[in-house]
A = this chain, B = another copy of it.
Amino acid sequence: MEQKMNRQTATWIWYPGDFEIRLHEKMSVVRRARGVMYPAYWRLDRCYSNIKFRYTYDLAKEEQIHITAEGRFSFYLDGKDNYRSADAVITLPAGRHVISVSVFNDVEAPALFIDGPTVRTDSSWEVTSYQNDWMQAGSWTFDTMEYPPSQFRLPTTPLEPATLTMRDGYPLLDFGRETFGYLQFHNVTGTGTVRVYYGESMAEALSPDECVTLDRFEALEATDNSENGIYTFKEAKAYRYVWIHADQGVGWERISMLYEYVPVTYRSSFQCSDPMMNKIYEMSLYTLHLNTREFFLDGIKRDRWVWSGDAYQAFLMNYYSFFDLDVTRRTLVALRGKDPLTMHINTILDYSLYWFISLYDYYLYTGDFEFIQQYYDRAVSLMDFCLKQRNEEGMVEGRPQDWVFVDWADFQNDGAVSTEQILLVRGLEAMSRFASLMGDEAAAGNYGDLAKETISKTLRIFWDEEKGGLLHHRVEGETKPTLTKHASMFAMTYGYLSQEQRDSVVRNVMLNPDVPKIRTPYMRFHELAVLCESGAHDLVRREILSYWGGMIELGATTFWEEYDPSLADDEHFGMYDVKFGKSLCHAWGAGPIYILGKYFLGVTPTSPGYETYRIAPNLGGLAHMKGTVPTGAGQVSVEMSLSTISVESTTGTGVLTFSSAESPVCNEGEVRDVGNGSYEVIIEAGNIYRVSYQPMK
């Protein structure tokens, strides 16, 4: 008898992507500007309200199934759609039959849960939005009837303030470091209003007229809505400090909070001889963790939106820390959204292009082809949309309605911006790879050819021999003389430059004080990566200590959206012409996770899912370092001093690459001399490799 595989548990199923898209819709409107909603300013896509599931079974004997839906459902067998049932319990007849279940829900994403001895909902069911689009149903870990997808909430845990002091007669709570969650008032008494001013900085909490987030409640409302004497705020906020202004008649026992978080595992580690560097690494992890939520957010205080360029970096940091693929996938799906494409992701041309690169990285770091396959069509249509914006010279340009961002910096982005071309090329390479995986070699060839054609044209047009780097943009057929670091950085990272060009970029662009400095951690991320790519680890170490260490010295407990050492005191907290407008816990501030994991510990996949990888540890001026990088299910551990390197891996095959002034020694593996003082050892999973070496002068 034919029988589908024997699943162990039923799970909630839905139209693929719609759980993520609905969740994204809800999360895109939680931003508040002084208590008032500040929704994302792009089209928010919506899940389908009307869908239908189907499943073919073949049973030796009849069986009883239990049906629950989010929304209203109707069930029928063998296409007999006039004979429907909405009963919660149905007996399926024996034999081979096709189940159809329509589900309608105009609030949450329609979802279905069927449990029976053998017939159960899971991803082997199909679903359609009635557009001739039968697809494998979406599912995740909603494996009980009682916890349907719409009820998804991040877990919370109670947290006490570190200190309580009085300021101007009002209590000021300090939770010791930046945190995120729901304030809780215990045993509120009396009547009157309580006003709450949040601050990522103390200055912000102490500025009732200027703080970005605030709250208020009536004591009676609190007592009416308390559980076990605890009144929990409805909305979660980001803060370290809270200043409470209560009317005289109001009292309470104490105030605490519920910290809300994704329960990730801190799977990476980095410890070295420099305590400040260790502190920077730990603070980066915490910064990233706070921004790792329903989706990877830009920052937890202000936008709380999902931005593709910010997420691109968060994804990379995540591969070097939590390796949480759920948040990654949710973010990729939410960013792509639905058709029709009329505007770019987040309205930004570069942000559409980063999406392809992020998907490419996802595949490289995880090897998860199934996900690529599921969203391949959406990738194709997004690329079609981007390619439509090429000008007569074949270069992408922003339309009047597009934002060409690149970076917060004082340059013009009109015409064809070189950085955008580089990102497009990388996106085309990604598409070529995906097409090939999908078995469409013709498409793979087309994307590949277009990538080659575009990069050679871009280098021809923008490379300035005299200045030794890529110029910034070209307007109406004329390349402007502006030199910025950005395009050169990306071209170098993605391997589009000759060795000669790379050397020139480092010398004439990256280290040239006349080229405008990068002020955002967003682009410092790429800048430091490029410097590492060219072996300037020592410089990078000093830059990290100065830039990120600079924030710590100013009292940061998480890293900021932007840092300009030249500013004084509270000036650091302002941005966008708003006194406390700057986010002090911004995902892109956590870049050292990536730099230290990828370029100091030196771990990089060289084939999808870390089947093979490279370990190129570099102390960059540290005396020693020790750390771990997750590689999917497994991990790579690296320890390095000025005389020894020790490496251990749990999966795949790696190549340890390092330099040594003298012939190194390894008892556990063969040392291969690759010339110029470079050596390699093949690393097989399960063994510990110890190398004695002599640092280069």
Measured between beta carbons, the chain B residues less than 8 angstroms from A48 are: 43-44, 46
Q: Taking the nearest CB of chain B, how far is it from the CB of A683, in angstroms?
A: 49
With A42-B130, A82-B576: A72-B37 Cβ-Cβ less than 8 Å: yes
**Does A458 touch B at the CB level, under 8 Å?**
no
Q: CA separation between A106 and B37, bound complex, in Å?
A: 14
**Of B46, B86, B131, which contacts A46 at CB under 8 A?**
B46
| Contacts A/B (CB < 8 Å), 15 sampled | A25-B106, A33-B81, A36-B85, A37-B102, A38-B84, A38-B102, A40-B50, A41-B81, A42-B130, A43-B48, A43-B130, A46-B49, A131-B343, A132-B343, A339-B340
Residues 31-58 of A at the B interface (beta carbon under 8 Å) = 33-44, 46, 48-50, 52
Which residue of the partner chain B has the closest CB to A105? B29
Q: CB within 8 A of A104: which of B29, B72, B107?
A: B29
- Does chain B have a CB within 8 A of A650? no
Most buried by B among A49, A133, A340: A49
- The reply on A508 being an interface residue by CB < 8 A is no
**Is A342 an interface residue when CB atoms closer than 8 A count as contact?**
yes
A132 touches B342 (CB 8 A): yes
**For chain A, what secondary structure do more than half of its interface residues adopt (helix, strand, loop), or is it mixed?**
loop
Known: A26-B106, A40-B50, A41-B52. 19 other contacts (CB 8 A): A29-B104, A34-B83, A36-B74, A36-B85, A36-B86, A37-B73, A37-B84, A37-B104, A39-B102, A41-B81, A43-B48, A43-B130, A46-B49, A130-B347, A131-B342, A132-B342, A132-B343, A133-B342, A339-B339
From B50, B74, B86, B401, contact of A132 by CB (8 A): B401
Chain B residues whose CB sits within 8 angstroms of the CB of A581 once the complex forms: 82
Partner of A343, one of B28, B41, B46, B130: B130
* A264 in contact (CB, < 8 A): no
Given contacts A33-B84, A82-B581, A342-B132, contact A104 B39 (CB under 8 A): yes
Type the 1/0 row for A463-482, where 1 means its CB is closer than 8 Å to any CB of B: 00000000000000000000
A347 surroundings in chain B (CB, below 8 A):
130
A187 interface hit (Cβ, 8 Å) = no
A117 to B33, CA, bound (A): 29
Shortest Cβ distance from residue A31 to the other chain B in the assembled complex, whole angstroms? 10
A88-124 CB mask vs B (1 if < 8 Å, else 0) is 0000000000000010101100000000000000000
Residues of B within 8 A of A576 (CB): 82
Q: Is A578 an interface residue (CB 8 A)?
A: yes
With both beta carbons as reference points, the residue of chain B lying nearest to A75 in the complex is identified as B36
A129 within 8 A of partner (CB): yes
Point out the residues of chain B lying under 8 angstroms from A107, CB to CB.
106-107
Give the number of times this chain occurs in the complex, counting copies.
2
Bound: A303/B33 CA distance, A: 47
Q: In the complex, what distance in Å separates the CA atom of A536 from the CA atom of B581? A: 79
Contacts of A35 in B (CB 8 A): 86
Residues in B whose Cβ lies below 8 Å from that of A131? 43, 342-343
What chain B residues lie within 8 Å of A42 (beta carbons)?
A: 130
Are A37 and B74 also in contact (CB < 8 A) when A43-B130, A132-B401 are?
A: yes
B43:A82 contact, CB within 8 angstroms = no
Residues of B within 8 A of A46 (CB): 46, 48-49, 106
Shortest A210–chain B CB gap in Å is 11
Q: Are A34 and B84 in contact (CB under 8 A)?
A: yes
List, in ascending order, chain B residues with CB within 8 A of A34's CB: 83-84
How many Å lie between the Cα of A581 and that of B80 in the bound state?
13
- Report how far A129 CA is from B133 CA in the complex, Å: 26
Task: Specify the chain B residue showing the minimal Cβ separation from A133.
Answer: B342
Task: State which of B28, B29, B81 has its C-beta within 8 Å of the C-beta of A38.
Answer: B81
Question: A578 — which chain B residues lie within 8 A by C-beta?
Answer: 82
Contact B41 A130 (CB under 8 A): yes
Query: Which among A36, A41, A48 has the highest number of chain B CB atoms within 10 Å?
Result: A36
Contact with B along A329-371 (1 / 0, CB 8 A): 0000000000110110001000000000000000000000000
Q: Which of B29, B50, B577 contacts A28 (CB 8 A)?
A: B50
Which B residues are in CB contact (< 8 Å) with A85? 36
